[in-house]
Amino acid sequence: MTDPAFAVLLVAYGAPLTLEEVEPYLLDVRGGRPTPTSVVEELRARYAAIGGRSPLLDRTRAQAAALAQRLGPDTPVMVGMRHWHPYIKDVLAEAAGQGVRRAVAVAMAPHYSRMSIGAYQRKIDEARGPIDVAAVPQWFDHRCFLDAVAERVQSALSRFPAAVRDQVPIVFTAHSLPQRILAEGDPYPDQLRASVEGVMQRVGPHPYQFAFQSAGQSAEPWLGPDAGAALVQVAQDGARHVLICPIGFVADHLEVLYDVDLEYRRQAAKLGLHLERTESLNAAPLLIEALADLVLSTARERGWLP
């Protein structure tokens, strides 16, 4: 890098790249608190079931490469992770050493919560050093993001028999969070529902609902309704097909490849349901266009571009 006008930092949660990394990864997620052996082994088994590693870093780097191509050679695009390598702090330190003084940061999660995007922003603030970082706070309603999800929904619906396609229930999902965020006025649930409405305006009349998935293992209540319960209700209502759209995720990772593709698919089979899932956005052109627009508009607001 040679003194670019600004760089881009894509940030994501992070995930282990080998089964041996699962325990130290959990130690990082839990802020240094040891993880019960049973929890480590359960998570290790889940990663083993999807091939022994998470593809999240690969997918995020592919998104970064596509965005770099879209923005051009004068705008470096970096990838930093919150809870595993390459850590946000290390990426920013390396960038500063290479002359970067300005960066636009985009969390690869469209919906704001203090516990998700807010936590990314705090990590960036702790690590920014001499770099002036402009963080994109949210992008749940960006037209290209909604277009991209709608495109995936339409494509997935085409996999069902034509005779029933118009009546296949769609269950949109996102990662659950502790219910206490509601008392704090967190916008996360409202933004998710706004995204769903935006997608359905594009898809057209169709049965659909929203539910949360992948709740944490803690005693406190988590946001619902639960996606597993939604599948039960779909079956009880007489449907024989269902489409899951994990609208809260923009790349393949454990919560999609295990929770949806394995656990919910097994549950659906027991309920007599034919379940399909929308393909993850990953580096879809419309998603990259959304990211490019977010980056360029933020840079212009900061006066980094004419």
DSSP annotation string for 21-35 = GHHHHHHHHTTTPPP
Give the confidence band of 3 by pLDDT, cuts at 50, 70, 90.
low
Give the confidence band of 1 by pLDDT, cuts at 50, 70, 90.
very low
**Residues 86-129 pLDDT 10s:** 999 999 999 999 999 999 999 999 999 999 999 999 999 999 99
Q: At what angle do helices 88-97 and 117-127 cross, to 10 degrees?
A: 40
Return the biggest CA–CA distance within the chain.
Answer: 61
Query: Tell me, what amino acid is at 231?
Result: L
- DSSP tag of 85: S
- State yes or no: pLDDT of 217 exceeds 90: no
pTM, entire model: 0.96
**C-alpha–C-alpha distance, residues 56 and 7, integer Å:** 21
CA-based torsion, 295, 301, 303, 305: positive or negative: positive
Q: What's the gap between Cα 143 and its chain centre?
A: 17
What is the H or E stretch that residue 178 is in? none
Query: Tell me, what amino acid is at 102?
Result: R
Give the confidence band of 29 by pLDDT, cuts at 50, 70, 90.
very high
What is the residue-wise DSSP string for 141-168?
A: T-HHHHHHHHHHHHHHHTTS-TTTGGG-
Domains of the chain: 7-139+284-301 (3.40.50.1400), 143-277 (3.40.50.1400)
- State yes or no: pLDDT of 248 exceeds 90: yes
**C-alpha–C-alpha distance, residues 301 and 124, integer Å:** 19
**Residues 144-195 pLDDT 10s:** 999 999 999 999 999 999 999 999 999 999 999 999 999 999 999 999 999 9
Structure tokens at 208: 């659909």
**C-alpha–C-alpha distance, residues 63 and 73, integer Å:** 15
| CA-closest candidate to residue 78, choices 8, 131, 30, 143 | 8
| CA-closest candidate to residue 80, choices 149, 176, 182, 12 | 12
Provide the percentage of residues in the chain whose pLDDT is more than 70: 99
| CA-closest candidate to residue 112, choices 171, 186, 176, 170 | 186
Structure tokens at 60: 């995020």
| Local structure of 230: helix, strand or coil | helix
